[in-house]
Amino acid sequence: MTAAENVCYTLINVSSDSEPPSEVSLKADLEKGEIKAKTEALKKVIIMILNGEKLPGLLMTIIRFVLPLQDHTIKKLLLVFWEIVPKTTTDGKLLQEMILVCDAYRKDLQHPNEFIRGSTLRFLCKLKESELLEPLMPAIRACLEHRHSYVRRNAVLAIYTIYRNFEHLIPDAPELIHDFLDRALDYLSTCIDQVHTFGDILQLVIVELIYKVCHANPSERARFIRCIYNLLQSSSPAVKYEAAGTLVTLSSAPTAVKAAAQCYIDLIIKESDNNVKLIVLDRLIELKDHPTHERVLQDLVMDILRVLSTPDLEVRKKTLHLALDLVSSRNKEVIKTNNVTEHEDTDKYRQLLVRTLHSCSVRFPDMAANVIPVLMEFLSDTNEAAAADVLEFVREAIQRFDNLRPLIIEKMLEVFHAIKTVKIYRGALWILGEYCSTKDDIQSVMTEVRRSLGEIPIVENEIKKETGEMKPEDEVSAAPAQKLVTEMGTYVTQSALSSSRPSKKEEDSPLLQRPC
């Protein structure tokens, strides 16, 4: 393998203006220096090798004077050094000095400190020389029995990596790891009722283990599904999320789907991060898209609508779309009882609610009679977009549902005088003029129009101006000019126009008399 083909695992930044030390000074520090001096010298050697320097004369020096040291910082640096140093001759044969290195790492694999054992096992995952790994296999196997989980975990990773790269070194690796996992499953079976007391990291590992085991061996589902149910009550949101996702993959029973969906809903309500809310909502939507799960979610529409208490508009929008897809003839009453006026916090949200109720009323005509009186109140809203959506709904409903025309006309006449925008007023007037057919309704419409016109004659202000009844302060006036002296000693004249605020009578004037 050429130098250009070597795999690079480590990148270390070094300032380009620093002058590299000589090999002689590095050798002196490594041989006779204190621990701190040897540490700095070893760092410089690593940086020089990464930059392309060979430094073959330092290899034996490091083996003799640095490798036997028990300092943890030195041992960390040596892991990096042995990872990057050339281990073979130009013809591809292993250097004789590496036999000594191999013996040192065999001792580290038997070290009483679990950190040294674990970090050494991680280092062995990066070795590509089977001659170095072969003498270490018995020590690696023995680490599977270590009391500390950090060592056992890294031993499993090391065995997996070695088996993948050099299968002949450990041909029984699958059976070895299988027996190791069986012991883990047996242990889990003995403490399955205590998993809720474990830490969240261990709980996540248990969820992942159960997921993989049950998919590889479906007969194990009945053994561990109760554990997943218990983890739905975990204090960790991450564990609850993973447990709910695992539960629906292990079982399609309605009770399992309902428990997972309820867990998702609780996460959405309790989590403050809107991104988390949107991610969990996507999981609910995926459940809804499953044919056998949709009916279960239809019974949870009321719980899903609790998410509308969230202030974020995007979350509310996705929640309303999900609820609308789940509405059926069995649960349409839930939508009707969800009062619109409880959530009037933003104009866009009110507009979104109006459109949702519009869609529900079109799909289920018998609920339109309950929705129309609530929506009619929005015709007098200052938000013209929401009022326009209500007007569109009313126009469609009065055309589609003949039996609701008297109710719609009655409610529209009640709010007609409170309409605040000309566009909505014009649309409402067209609907009344198109669909009022009885004498009483026509008379009521004319009364409301007359009420909107206000006092006649309309030119009341103009007449008062002609007769001199208009007060001077109600008109635009010019303030008297003032003469000011600047810093240079010159005179300047300052004047300003002022106007009085509109009178309360003008603000309260009928709609058709207000300026457009």
pLDDT of residue 247: 92
pLDDT of residue 330: 55
Using a pLDDT cut of 70, give the percent of the chain over it: 80
Per-residue pLDDT of 234-259, as tens digits, reads 989 999 999 999 999 988 889 999 99
pLDDT of residue 456: 61
Q: Is the dihedral of CA 309, 314, 316, 322 positive or negative?
A: negative
Using a pLDDT cut of 90, give the percent of the chain over it: 16
When pLDDT is cut at 50, 70 and 90, the band that residue 1 belongs to is very low
Per-residue pLDDT of 161-187, as tens digits, reads 999 999 999 999 888 888 877 777 888
Residue 485 region by backbone torsions, left for phi larger than 0, else alpha for psi between -120 and 50, else beta: beta
CATH number for the region 23-166 comes to: 1.25.10.10
| Out of 1-10, 131-140, 192-201, 344-353, least confident range | 1-10
CA–CA gap between residue 321 and residue 361 (Å, rounded): 15
Q: What is the mean pLDDT of the chain?
A: 79
| Out of 47-51, 77-81, 303-307, 352-356, least confident range | 352-356
Per-residue pLDDT of 349-408, as tens digits, reads 777 777 777 777 777 777 777 777 777 777 877 777 778 888 888 888 888 888 888 888
pLDDT at 266 over 90: yes
Per-residue pLDDT of 274-314, as tens digits, reads 999 999 999 999 998 888 888 888 888 888 888 888 888 88
In the chain, where are the structural domains located? 23-166, 252-327, 360-454
Reduced to 3 states, what is the DSSP secondary structure of residue 484? strand
102 within 8 A of 137, measured Cβ to Cβ: no
49 within 8 A of 84, measured Cβ to Cβ: yes
Integer-rounded Cα radius of gyration of the chain: 40
**Rounded mean pLDDT of 204-228?**
87
